[in-house]
Amino acid sequence: MLFIAFTAEEAGLLGSSYYVRNPAVPLEKTVFVLNNDGAGYTDTSIVTVLGLNRTTAAADIVTGCRESGLEATAGGFELQMFFNASDNRSFAEKGVPSPTFSPGIRSFGEEILKYYHRPTDEADESFDFAYLERFCEAYVRSAQLIADRPTRPTWVAGDKYEKAGARLYGGK
């Protein structure tokens, strides 16, 4: 299991794009990417997983979140446009199943936008550290369940990245 922190996402996914061209582990041996990115949170009872239902690992993620006292949700339609806005896209385009694990956001509204990509985006006295702990537990547990699967997770049938995954892993 690798934990990688990329840089320059906002400048065009520069770090993750570089990595997929120069991987430490060949991409065909990379089983899954559980990207972690967030723009704040508005609901401390959930984890928003962009692309949750786009891979066969959805049940593992739902279980990992539930075991940590949180509900995994795919988020509404308005949030789905952000699936391709994070480092997971670099991997998805190559075929690696790669949803994004984010703090609980029910909608990308005014509460999020007032801090999104701004210097005022800081943890202050209202920051919920107990939620952060549960969020991290859910992330680690989900990753563990995915790593312990007897079969490799794939993109679901018909997904935009399904064919790239089949090419990468020697399928159709």
> Length of the chain in residues, anyone?
172
Tokens at 75, concatenated = 């988020």
Asked whether the predicted pLDDT for residue 77 surpasses 70, the reply is: no
How confident is the model over 20-47, as pLDDT tens digits? 999 999 999 999 999 888 766 678 899 9
Q: Which amino acid is at 95?
A: G
Domain residue limits at 97: 14-168
9 located within any domain:
no
Asked whether the predicted pLDDT for residue 172 surpasses 60, the reply is: no
Q: Where are the alpha helices (DSSP H) in 34-161?
A: 58-67, 77-80, 88-94, 110-113, 129-147
CA dist 5 and 42 (Å) reads 24
3 located within any domain:
no
1 located within any domain:
no
23 located within any domain:
yes
pLDDT confidence band for 143 (50 / 70 / 90): very high
| CATH number, position 69 | 3.40.630.10
State the pLDDT at residue 135.
94
Tokens at 170, concatenated = 């020697």
SS3 (DSSP) at 169 = coil
Nearest to 88 by CA among 78, 79, 97: 97
Q: Are strands 46-50 and 100-103 parallel, antiparallel or unpaired?
A: antiparallel
SS3 (DSSP) at 71 = strand
34 located within any domain:
yes
46 located within any domain:
yes
Asked whether the predicted pLDDT for residue 171 surpasses 80, the reply is: no
Question: How many domains in the chain?
Answer: 1
